[in-house]
Amino acid sequence: MKSIVVPVDFSDQSEYALKVAAKLAQKNKTTLIVLHMLELAPAIMSNAQYIPQDQLVQLIKLSEKRFEDFLDKPYLKEVEVIPVVKHYKVFSEVNDVAEQHNADLVVMGSHGADGLEEIFIGSNTERVVRNSEIPVLVVKGKVEDFKAERFVFACDFAEDNVPALKKAMAFAKLLQAELKLVYINTPGDGFLSTADIYEKVSKFLTKAQEGLEVDIYNDYTVERGVLNYADSHAADLIGIPTHGRKGLSHFFMGSIGEDIANHSKLPVVTFKI
Protein backbone atom coordinates (compact mmCIF):
# COMPACT_ATOMS: atom_id res chain seq x y z
CA MET A 1 0.00 0.00 0.00
CA LYS A 2 1.58 3.26 -1.17
CA SER A 3 -0.76 5.95 0.12
CA ILE A 4 -4.21 6.49 1.65
CA VAL A 5 -6.57 9.40 0.88
CA VAL A 6 -8.62 10.71 3.82
CA PRO A 7 -11.23 13.40 3.01
CA VAL A 8 -11.96 15.49 6.14
CA ASP A 9 -14.46 18.22 7.02
CA PHE A 10 -13.41 18.77 10.67
CA SER A 11 -16.36 16.71 11.94
CA ASP A 12 -16.04 14.00 14.60
CA GLN A 13 -16.76 11.41 11.90
CA SER A 14 -13.84 12.56 9.75
CA GLU A 15 -11.51 12.47 12.75
CA TYR A 16 -12.60 8.89 13.52
CA ALA A 17 -11.65 8.01 9.93
CA LEU A 18 -8.35 9.87 10.22
CA LYS A 19 -7.42 7.85 13.32
CA VAL A 20 -8.17 4.57 11.53
CA ALA A 21 -6.19 5.69 8.46
CA ALA A 22 -3.27 6.71 10.68
CA LYS A 23 -3.31 3.26 12.28
CA LEU A 24 -3.19 1.60 8.85
CA ALA A 25 -0.52 3.99 7.62
CA GLN A 26 1.71 3.42 10.63
CA LYS A 27 1.36 -0.35 10.37
CA ASN A 28 2.11 -0.41 6.63
CA LYS A 29 4.54 2.55 6.43
CA THR A 30 2.08 4.37 4.19
CA THR A 31 1.68 8.06 3.38
CA LEU A 32 -1.58 9.80 4.35
CA ILE A 33 -3.04 12.23 1.81
CA VAL A 34 -5.46 14.28 3.92
CA LEU A 35 -7.92 16.12 1.67
CA HIS A 36 -10.11 19.06 2.67
CA MET A 37 -12.64 20.51 0.22
CA LEU A 38 -13.79 24.04 1.09
CA GLU A 39 -17.48 24.97 0.92
CA LEU A 40 -16.88 27.55 -1.82
CA ALA A 41 -18.94 27.46 -5.02
CA PRO A 42 -17.12 28.08 -8.34
CA ALA A 43 -19.25 31.21 -8.91
CA ILE A 44 -18.00 32.72 -5.65
CA MET A 45 -14.41 31.96 -6.59
CA SER A 46 -14.73 33.74 -9.95
CA ASN A 47 -17.20 36.59 -9.30
CA ALA A 48 -16.31 39.46 -6.96
CA GLN A 49 -20.00 40.48 -6.73
CA TYR A 50 -20.61 37.59 -4.36
CA ILE A 51 -17.84 38.45 -1.90
CA PRO A 52 -14.98 41.02 -1.94
CA GLN A 53 -11.66 39.55 -3.01
CA ASP A 54 -9.87 40.47 0.21
CA GLN A 55 -12.57 38.78 2.29
CA LEU A 56 -12.36 35.70 0.09
CA VAL A 57 -8.60 35.50 0.59
CA GLN A 58 -9.08 35.89 4.35
CA LEU A 59 -11.74 33.16 4.37
CA ILE A 60 -9.41 30.76 2.55
CA LYS A 61 -6.55 31.57 4.95
CA LEU A 62 -8.78 30.94 7.98
CA SER A 63 -9.91 27.60 6.51
CA GLU A 64 -6.33 26.56 5.79
CA LYS A 65 -5.28 27.51 9.34
CA ARG A 66 -8.16 25.45 10.74
CA PHE A 67 -7.02 22.55 8.56
CA GLU A 68 -3.46 22.91 9.89
CA ASP A 69 -4.74 22.88 13.48
CA PHE A 70 -6.95 19.85 12.74
CA LEU A 71 -3.87 17.90 11.63
CA ASP A 72 -1.93 18.74 14.79
CA LYS A 73 -2.72 15.40 16.44
CA PRO A 74 -0.43 13.13 18.50
CA TYR A 75 -1.44 10.03 16.51
CA LEU A 76 -0.13 11.66 13.29
CA LYS A 77 3.38 12.33 14.62
CA GLU A 78 4.71 8.96 13.43
CA VAL A 79 3.03 9.18 10.01
CA GLU A 80 3.96 11.05 6.82
CA VAL A 81 1.06 13.41 6.11
CA ILE A 82 0.51 15.40 2.91
CA PRO A 83 -2.31 17.99 3.29
CA VAL A 84 -4.30 18.84 0.15
CA VAL A 85 -6.86 21.68 -0.06
CA LYS A 86 -9.45 22.03 -2.81
CA HIS A 87 -11.42 25.27 -2.94
CA TYR A 88 -14.85 23.73 -3.49
CA LYS A 89 -16.57 20.38 -3.25
CA VAL A 90 -16.39 18.18 -6.33
CA PHE A 91 -16.46 14.57 -5.18
CA SER A 92 -14.91 13.26 -8.39
CA GLU A 93 -11.79 15.19 -7.32
CA VAL A 94 -11.14 12.48 -4.73
CA ASN A 95 -10.32 10.24 -7.71
CA ASP A 96 -8.00 12.90 -9.14
CA VAL A 97 -6.14 13.26 -5.84
CA ALA A 98 -5.93 9.47 -5.45
CA GLU A 99 -4.54 9.07 -8.97
CA GLN A 100 -2.06 11.92 -8.54
CA HIS A 101 -0.65 10.34 -5.38
CA ASN A 102 -0.93 6.74 -6.56
CA ALA A 103 -3.27 5.93 -3.65
CA ASP A 104 -4.63 2.45 -2.97
CA LEU A 105 -7.41 3.27 -0.52
CA VAL A 106 -9.83 6.01 0.57
CA VAL A 107 -10.78 6.11 4.26
CA MET A 108 -13.82 8.21 5.14
CA GLY A 109 -16.08 8.71 8.15
CA SER A 110 -19.86 8.62 7.97
CA HIS A 111 -22.87 8.80 10.23
CA GLY A 112 -25.07 7.51 7.41
CA ALA A 113 -28.25 8.99 5.97
CA ASP A 114 -31.84 7.89 6.34
CA GLY A 115 -35.29 8.61 4.96
CA LEU A 116 -35.80 11.55 2.58
CA GLU A 117 -32.27 12.81 3.20
CA GLU A 118 -30.89 9.56 1.84
CA ILE A 119 -33.20 9.56 -1.20
CA PHE A 120 -32.82 13.17 -2.28
CA ILE A 121 -29.45 14.22 -0.90
CA GLY A 122 -27.50 11.20 0.28
CA SER A 123 -24.31 11.54 2.27
CA ASN A 124 -20.91 12.85 1.25
CA THR A 125 -19.52 9.38 1.87
CA GLU A 126 -22.08 7.85 -0.48
CA ARG A 127 -20.97 10.23 -3.24
CA VAL A 128 -17.34 9.24 -2.71
CA VAL A 129 -18.26 5.52 -2.74
CA ARG A 130 -20.17 6.05 -5.98
CA ASN A 131 -17.30 7.88 -7.72
CA SER A 132 -14.17 6.23 -6.34
CA GLU A 133 -12.16 3.94 -8.60
CA ILE A 134 -10.23 2.52 -5.62
CA PRO A 135 -11.57 0.77 -2.48
CA VAL A 136 -13.30 3.01 0.07
CA LEU A 137 -13.19 2.11 3.77
CA VAL A 138 -16.18 3.70 5.50
CA VAL A 139 -15.70 4.16 9.26
CA LYS A 140 -18.86 4.30 11.37
CA GLY A 141 -18.35 5.93 14.74
CA LYS A 142 -15.37 6.04 17.07
CA VAL A 143 -12.91 3.14 16.74
CA GLU A 144 -10.38 3.07 19.57
CA ASP A 145 -8.10 0.39 18.12
CA PHE A 146 -8.95 -0.57 14.55
CA LYS A 147 -8.31 -4.18 13.67
CA ALA A 148 -10.15 -6.61 11.47
CA GLU A 149 -9.74 -10.20 12.59
CA ARG A 150 -12.92 -11.35 10.78
CA PHE A 151 -13.66 -9.81 7.40
CA VAL A 152 -16.97 -10.72 5.69
CA PHE A 153 -17.15 -10.28 1.90
CA ALA A 154 -20.57 -10.62 0.25
CA CYS A 155 -21.48 -10.56 -3.44
CA ASP A 156 -23.84 -12.25 -5.91
CA PHE A 157 -20.99 -14.35 -7.37
CA ALA A 158 -21.58 -13.10 -10.90
CA GLU A 159 -18.42 -13.19 -13.01
CA ASP A 160 -18.02 -9.40 -13.01
CA ASN A 161 -17.35 -9.62 -9.26
CA VAL A 162 -14.10 -11.57 -9.70
CA PRO A 163 -11.87 -8.45 -9.66
CA ALA A 164 -13.64 -7.26 -6.51
CA LEU A 165 -12.95 -10.61 -4.83
CA LYS A 166 -9.27 -10.36 -5.75
CA LYS A 167 -9.12 -6.88 -4.20
CA ALA A 168 -10.93 -8.13 -1.08
CA MET A 169 -8.46 -11.01 -0.72
CA ALA A 170 -5.52 -8.61 -1.02
CA PHE A 171 -7.11 -6.29 1.54
CA ALA A 172 -7.70 -9.17 3.95
CA LYS A 173 -4.05 -10.19 3.59
CA LEU A 174 -2.97 -6.61 4.27
CA LEU A 175 -5.05 -6.56 7.46
CA GLN A 176 -4.06 -10.13 8.37
CA ALA A 177 -7.77 -10.87 8.63
CA GLU A 178 -9.75 -14.08 8.22
CA LEU A 179 -11.84 -13.68 5.05
CA LYS A 180 -15.36 -15.16 5.09
CA LEU A 181 -17.34 -15.26 1.83
CA VAL A 182 -21.14 -15.32 1.90
CA TYR A 183 -23.94 -15.60 -0.65
CA ILE A 184 -27.24 -14.05 0.51
CA ASN A 185 -30.27 -15.99 -0.75
CA THR A 186 -33.54 -14.04 -0.76
CA PRO A 187 -37.18 -14.92 -1.56
CA GLY A 188 -38.90 -13.78 -4.74
CA ASP A 189 -37.36 -13.56 -8.20
CA GLY A 190 -33.83 -13.78 -6.84
CA PHE A 191 -34.37 -17.08 -4.98
CA LEU A 192 -32.10 -19.98 -5.92
CA SER A 193 -32.08 -23.57 -4.74
CA THR A 194 -29.07 -24.77 -2.76
CA ALA A 195 -27.90 -26.80 -5.76
CA ASP A 196 -28.19 -23.77 -8.06
CA ILE A 197 -26.23 -21.60 -5.64
CA TYR A 198 -23.42 -24.15 -5.34
CA GLU A 199 -23.25 -24.41 -9.13
CA LYS A 200 -23.09 -20.62 -9.48
CA VAL A 201 -20.44 -20.30 -6.77
CA SER A 202 -18.40 -23.14 -8.26
CA LYS A 203 -18.33 -21.45 -11.70
CA PHE A 204 -17.35 -18.16 -10.04
CA LEU A 205 -14.47 -19.67 -8.06
CA THR A 206 -13.26 -21.55 -11.15
CA LYS A 207 -13.22 -18.26 -13.04
CA ALA A 208 -11.38 -16.62 -10.13
CA GLN A 209 -9.00 -19.61 -9.88
CA GLU A 210 -9.50 -19.67 -6.13
CA GLY A 211 -10.37 -22.56 -3.83
CA LEU A 212 -12.40 -20.84 -1.13
CA GLU A 213 -15.35 -21.78 1.06
CA VAL A 214 -18.60 -19.84 0.68
CA ASP A 215 -21.44 -19.75 3.20
CA ILE A 216 -25.10 -19.51 2.14
CA TYR A 217 -27.29 -17.26 4.30
CA ASN A 218 -31.05 -16.83 3.86
CA ASP A 219 -32.79 -13.53 4.62
CA TYR A 220 -35.56 -11.25 3.33
CA THR A 221 -33.23 -8.76 1.60
CA VAL A 222 -29.57 -8.78 0.60
CA GLU A 223 -28.80 -5.80 2.82
CA ARG A 224 -30.41 -7.39 5.90
CA GLY A 225 -28.74 -10.69 5.11
CA VAL A 226 -25.26 -9.17 4.93
CA LEU A 227 -25.72 -7.20 8.16
CA ASN A 228 -27.29 -10.14 10.04
CA TYR A 229 -24.64 -12.60 8.81
CA ALA A 230 -21.86 -10.24 9.85
CA ASP A 231 -23.44 -9.83 13.29
CA SER A 232 -23.93 -13.57 13.78
CA HIS A 233 -20.25 -14.20 12.92
CA ALA A 234 -18.89 -11.36 15.11
CA ALA A 235 -17.36 -9.69 12.06
CA ASP A 236 -15.14 -6.64 12.42
CA LEU A 237 -15.45 -5.47 8.81
CA ILE A 238 -17.83 -5.90 5.86
CA GLY A 239 -16.67 -5.86 2.24
CA ILE A 240 -18.95 -5.58 -0.77
CA PRO A 241 -18.75 -4.63 -4.47
CA THR A 242 -20.58 -1.53 -5.69
CA HIS A 243 -21.58 -0.64 -9.24
CA GLY A 244 -21.29 3.12 -8.60
CA ARG A 245 -24.65 3.77 -10.31
CA LYS A 246 -25.49 7.39 -11.00
CA GLY A 247 -28.49 9.46 -12.01
CA LEU A 248 -31.82 7.74 -12.67
CA SER A 249 -30.22 4.31 -12.61
CA HIS A 250 -29.02 4.98 -9.07
CA PHE A 251 -32.35 6.52 -7.99
CA PHE A 252 -34.57 3.66 -9.13
CA MET A 253 -32.25 0.69 -8.74
CA GLY A 254 -30.14 1.86 -5.83
CA SER A 255 -26.85 0.30 -4.86
CA ILE A 256 -26.70 -2.42 -2.23
CA GLY A 257 -23.10 -1.51 -1.50
CA GLU A 258 -24.02 2.10 -0.76
CA ASP A 259 -27.02 1.06 1.36
CA ILE A 260 -24.84 -1.19 3.49
CA ALA A 261 -22.16 1.50 3.78
CA ASN A 262 -24.87 3.90 4.99
CA HIS A 263 -26.62 1.61 7.46
CA SER A 264 -23.95 -0.70 8.86
CA LYS A 265 -22.58 -0.02 12.34
CA LEU A 266 -19.40 -1.86 11.35
CA PRO A 267 -16.71 -0.41 9.10
CA VAL A 268 -17.48 -1.21 5.45
CA VAL A 269 -15.05 -1.38 2.54
CA THR A 270 -16.46 -1.11 -0.98
CA PHE A 271 -14.83 -2.33 -4.19
CA LYS A 272 -16.14 -0.75 -7.40
CA ILE A 273 -16.99 -3.17 -10.20
| Confidence grade of residue 155 (pLDDT, cut at 50, 70, 90) | very high
| Confidence grade of residue 15 (pLDDT, cut at 50, 70, 90) | very high
Q: What is the pLDDT of residues 246-260, one digit of tens each?
A: 554 444 445 677 778
Does 1-144 match 147-273 in CATH topology? yes
Average pLDDT over residues 189-203: 93
Q: What is the pLDDT of residues 94-140, one digit of tens each?
A: 888 999 999 999 999 887 655 444 444 456 777 788 778 899 999 98
Q: What is the pLDDT of residues 62-94, one digit of tens each?
A: 878 888 999 999 999 999 999 998 866 666 778
Class of domain 1-144: alpha beta
Q: What is the pLDDT of residues 228-239, one digit of tens each?
A: 999 999 999 999
**pTM as predicted:** 0.85
State the pairing for strand pair 136-139/268-272: antiparallel
Spans of all domains in the chain: 1-144, 147-273
Question: DSSP state, 182?
Answer: E
Which residues neighbour 96 within 8 Å (Cβ) at sequence distance 6 or greater? Answer: none
10 Å CB burial of residue 68 (0-12, 13-18, 19+) is: exposed
Q: Regarding the domain with residue range 147-273, which homologous superfamily does it belong to in the CATH classification?
A: HUPs (3.40.50.620)
